[in-house]
Structure 1
Amino acid sequence: MPPTVNVKSVTSNVGWSILSKTSTFGLKFVTVPILARILTPEEFGAVAVALTVVQFLAMIGGAGLTSALVIQREEEMETVHSVFWANLAISCLMALGLFIWADFFATLLGAPEAAYLLKIMSFLIPLQLGGDVAYSLLARRMNFSKDAVWSMISESLGAIVAVVLAIFGWGVWALMAQLFVSALVRLCGLYAVSHYMPRFVFHPRRVLGLSRFSLGMMGSEVANFITFQSPMVIISRYLGLADAGAYSAANRFASIPNQVVLSAVMGVLFPAFSGMMDDKERRSQALMFSTQVTTVLLAPMMFGLWALAEPSMRVLFGPQWAYAWPVLGLLALSKGILTPCSTFIPYLKGVGHGRALFWSAIIRAVATSAAVAYGASSGRLIDAMIWLCIVNAVTLVGYSWAVFKADGTPFFKGLYVSSRPMLVALAMALAVRYLLDTFGSLMPNPVLQILAGAAIGGILYAVLVVLSERPLLTKIYQLVKNRRGGTKAETTSA
């Protein structure tokens, strides 16, 4: 059976995951601006559009089977081996299909010049899917520390290779090398730390037995993928590769806080909520607490980036990208609006509310695609980003309603408590933006503007959080205190 889920195990694994993502964040904070200064918007756009197709096929290729492995009560190796071979067969077929029809997919996305990239990137699909079974074994064992180490190593090596190649004039191939190096190193690392060795065992009935859950998860994952990637495709078709490149560069940077906190927390919370499936009170408390904590951490990053988008774009990306600072700001704002939703997907997955997850994801995907397409049809990237912010505000309300209804929490109470840290962060960002617009001329150096804005915003946010979130801060303090006490007791008894 999966290990017992408790506060200590969850916080420990979240800590390891956040450490991994923070290390990656530090590297990307440096490498993304460097690459943006060396490469052109068209090069960024070509790789981003091609990667959209690869990521989509890699996601549906596994059909959600490895997610089903995570929630199995027993670790039956015959089932694990069967899923491995099913994943491998599907991924190879996907890669072959993409290689053959690369020209068709590239033309469909409005970037026929990226067809040759698609053919090469088709080989990424088996590399990415090949490690899913090993990762699922680590996830069900709540052993995220080992995955965290290899994530740091793989991302770091990939980023270093990309920067070195870009400096030596390899252009778009620098980005391609980054993808392959990261995928290959992580694949090898996952198998090394999970101690999993595939055996030639395949039972179709065991795979089919997982399909009911896995296909439901795949449907929601497809919809979520469309939500996150459809803007890139729409912008490429309506506005061209240059605007797609501007969107890609800004989105890469604006997504870094999410990669640090969200991806770390979500990976741990899925098996954690699964372990609480039969304990409604504990599950509800965990949902609200984890939502508040992630919002307290994420919201100031996203709204703060919105407030400082103009000097940040000039300092980090250079003059060739300066025109795109509103895009960076609006992307940060759109992501900040959704910070209270950060735990909703792992909650619905973990407690078995597949229907609510599926329909919420479908509605969000349709609304996001329609809103961005409507904004892009005007011929301006900024309009598309404004509509993205609008649809995300509506999504916040809709997602909250679906999750709190499934949990049995009163809607208005749940929405207020979970969104309160976001509103505090928004107030902080508005104050920083006002001060920057009013007194920015007194400090024309953009670096000093960023430092001053970050300092003022940090102090203001800390004060507001202490005033508005005392019960949450008290609970966090008690958890830390109890955990330290438990560690000391274990050390003494040992």
Structure 2
Amino acid sequence: MELRRRALFAMAWSAAEILLRFGSQLVVMAILARLLGPSDVGLMAMAMAFVALAVLAVDGGLGAALIQKTSIDDSDLDSVFWCALASGVCLGGIAWCVAPHIADFFEAPKVESLVRTLAMVLPVTGLAVVPDALLSRALRFSEKTKAEALASVGSGVVAVALALSGHGVDSLAWQVVLAALIRTAFLLGRVRWLPGIAIDVRRISRLARFGGFYMAASMLDAVATRLQSLLIGRLFTPALLGYYTIAQSTQQAPASVLVGVVNRVGLPVLSSVSASKDELRSGMRTGLRLSVLVFTPGMFLLALLSEPILGILFGPSWVSAANIMSLLAIGTALWPIHVLNAVAVQSLGGSRAMFVIEIAKQCLTIASIAVGVFWGPAGVAMGLLLANILCIPLSTFCSGKYLEFGLRKQSSEIGATLLTCVVTFAIGKGLMMLLPPGGLWLVAIVVAYWVVYVGLCSMTKNRALDDLWRMVRALRVAGQAKGA
């Protein structure tokens, strides 16, 4: 019961942290998009295509290994800290040296200075690996919420000031650097932990047995994501990449809430009950129903309103990205299936199996992107949509093998909800065609969309709706107990 209460609070704090972070980033991005042009955003995406991969390599999966491991000691923490810091310093130096070659690849000289500025993020990221893992193990997501809030707001204010003073795309690079510095400094101050000076190679090796596969799987996913920027930036113009990046970033904001909450809370909580497959299967079943109930209709709504959302947030000049954003949002609507199955496999310690599946999934995704690029940025988005559908049998394979909760059983749990989402989307599309655009009519469409959706769920006696009410009541009771 105590674990459940802590998990509910951790989930609430984690969701609040990610919402606050992406909400503040969205506000800053909206301001900067009006001050800068599509070409500036595209240039930044070119630089981040390589630096983001290096950020993942700094962690090396060791942070996730610390979270997943049943018990850890000072030797584990010290070894991971110095290993991550050394990786950050080395990778930062490599990024500095190869920056001219990256700029030559894109035929964009400005990318060189952007990569060299962003290289400073890598050693800073290394400093944060252990504090981040310690707070996640303790489910102290309120501290992470504060860190993200300070980082997002502080770096955002500086970035806007730099853009207003004429620094152009450099303001975006410094925003990333300052956010990393502020977040790391706060986390180091909150964990009350200082590293020793010893490194135990054997401890690193044991942690790497899990973390290495986790990092490789994450790297494959990141490669598929950054390949989109790489291909569009290389084959088309920075402006077209800018449109794609804004569409991708906007639809990723709600998607990242789901992924962040499930990864941060789901892994430590499911790992704690992984000895009982019945409990693990029950937790996964409830989590899948709830996440699809809330997340999937939200992404369909985002796809429905992509044009007015882009116009309101970023201005009329960005409306051209609406079709791309709609396709990306519909493809992302199925993420709960992929994310929850991956976390369940990780909690069982099946990182090797997850890695093999990720190889197959990412090969399919990369092939879809490579084919779609012939039709431009919209073709890439369509390729991702198809890949997300085709990868579902792969994502559910291990759950079927180890938990007897495979594709057929998962489909029976969420099939009614998915059908309700499609019907509600069709009704919303009809309202969009009948009613005039903008203003109060837009609000009316949003209200009608959710009324129809909840009404259909109630009429069909959707079990996920009952799960949601039970979770809300449990949070309220837990909050009252904590207050007392």
Which TM-score tier does this pair reach, normalised by the shorter chain?
Answer: over 0.9
2: CA distance, partners of 1:398 / 1:141:
32
Call closer, same or farther: CA 1:410–1:393 in 2, change over 3 Å.
closer
Call closer, same or farther: CA 1:422–1:127 in 2, change over 3 Å.
farther
Letter in structure 2 aligned against 1:281 = D
Match of 2:456 among 443, 447, 464: 464
Call closer, same or farther: CA 1:166–1:403 in 2, change over 3 Å.
farther
Report the CA distance between 1:56 and its aligned residue: 0.5
Report the CA distance between 1:483 and its aligned residue: 5.4
**2:382 aligns to what?**
386
Confirm or deny: 8 A CA contact 2:56 2:219 kept in the other structure.
yes
**1:71 aligns to what?**
68
Call closer, same or farther: CA 1:182–1:319 in 2, change over 3 Å.
same
Call closer, same or farther: CA 1:162–1:409 in 2, change over 3 Å.
same
Letter in structure 1 aligned against 2:385 = C
2: CA distance, partners of 1:458 / 1:358:
38
Matches within 5 A, 1:224-239: 224-239=221-236
Match of 1:222 among 213, 219, 232: 219
Match of 2:144 among 142, 147, 163: 147
Kindly provide the CA deviation profile for residues 7-54 of structure 1, in whole angstroms up to 9, marking residues without a partner as x.
Answer: 211111000011112222432343222222221111101111211211
**1:324 aligns to what?**
321
**1:455 aligns to what?**
447
**2:432 aligns to what?**
436
**2:466 aligns to what?**
474
Kindly provide the CA deviation profile for residues 217-270 of structure 1, in whole angstroms up to 9, marking residues without a partner as x.
Answer: 122111121232221112112223221111111111111111233312321111
Confirm or deny: 8 A CA contact 1:307 1:430 kept in the other structure.
no
**1:365 aligns to what?**
362
Report the CA distance between 1:111 and its aligned residue: 4.5
Confirm or deny: 8 A CA contact 2:299 2:330 kept in the other structure.
yes
Match of 1:292 among 275, 289, 294: 289
Confirm or deny: 8 A CA contact 2:345 2:398 kept in the other structure.
no
2: CA distance, partners of 1:238 / 1:304:
31
TM-score by length of 1: 0.92
Q: Secondary structure at the match of 1:197?
A: coil
Match of 1:396 among 380, 392, 395: 392
Instruction: Say whether 1:99 aligns with 2:91.
Output: no
Confirm or deny: 8 A CA contact 2:81 2:126 kept in the other structure.
no
RMSD after superposition: 2.1
**2:280 aligns to what?**
283
**2:31 aligns to what?**
34
TM-score by length of 2: 0.94
Confirm or deny: 8 A CA contact 1:54 1:121 kept in the other structure.
yes
Confirm or deny: 8 A CA contact 1:266 1:346 kept in the other structure.
yes
Report the CA distance between 1:490 and its aligned residue: 7.0
Kindly provide the CA deviation profile for residues 443-494 of structure 1, in whole angstroms up to 9, marking residues without a partner as x.
Answer: 24x34443232121111111122234543333343344455456656776xx
Kindly provide the CA deviation profile for residues 158-197 of structure 1, in whole angstroms up to 9, marking residues without a partner as x.
Answer: 2222223223332112211211111111001111111121
Instruction: Say whether 1:347 aligns with 2:344.
Output: yes
Which consecutive residues of structure 2, in runs of 5 or more, have no partner in the other structure? Answer: none
Confirm or deny: 8 A CA contact 1:48 1:245 kept in the other structure.
yes
1: CA distance, partners of 2:182 / 2:392:
37
1: CA distance, partners of 2:314 / 2:479:
45
Letter in structure 2 aligned against 1:230 = L
Kindly provide the CA deviation profile for residues 330-384 of structure 1, in whole angstroms up to 9, marking residues without a partner as x.
Answer: 1111111334333222222122122331122112222222212211124x22122
2: CA distance, partners of 1:50 / 1:435:
41
1: CA distance, partners of 2:207 / 2:255:
30
Confirm or deny: 8 A CA contact 1:313 1:328 kept in the other structure.
no
Letter in structure 2 aligned against 1:391 = A
Q: Secondary structure at the match of 1:255?
A: helix
Kindly provide the CA deviation profile for residues 424-461 of structure 1, in whole angstroms up to 9, marking residues without a partner as x.
Answer: 22221221112212x14xx24x3444323212111111
Q: Secondary structure at the match of 2:333?
A: helix
What is the number of residues matched between the two proteins? 484
1: CA distance, partners of 2:92 / 2:415:
42
Matches within 5 A, 1:38-77: 38-77=35-74
Call closer, same or farther: CA 1:482–1:370 in 2, change over 3 Å.
closer
Q: Which moved more, 1:262-271 or 1:89-98?
A: 262-271
Letter in structure 1 aligned against 2:139 = M
1: CA distance, partners of 2:150 / 2:417:
33
1: CA distance, partners of 2:419 / 2:222:
27
Letter in structure 2 aligned against 1:354 = S
Confirm or deny: 8 A CA contact 1:64 1:215 kept in the other structure.
yes
Call closer, same or farther: CA 1:48–1:90 in 2, change over 3 Å.
same
Report the CA distance between 1:406 and its aligned residue: 3.2
1: CA distance, partners of 2:360 / 2:393:
13
Report the CA distance between 1:302 and its aligned residue: 0.8
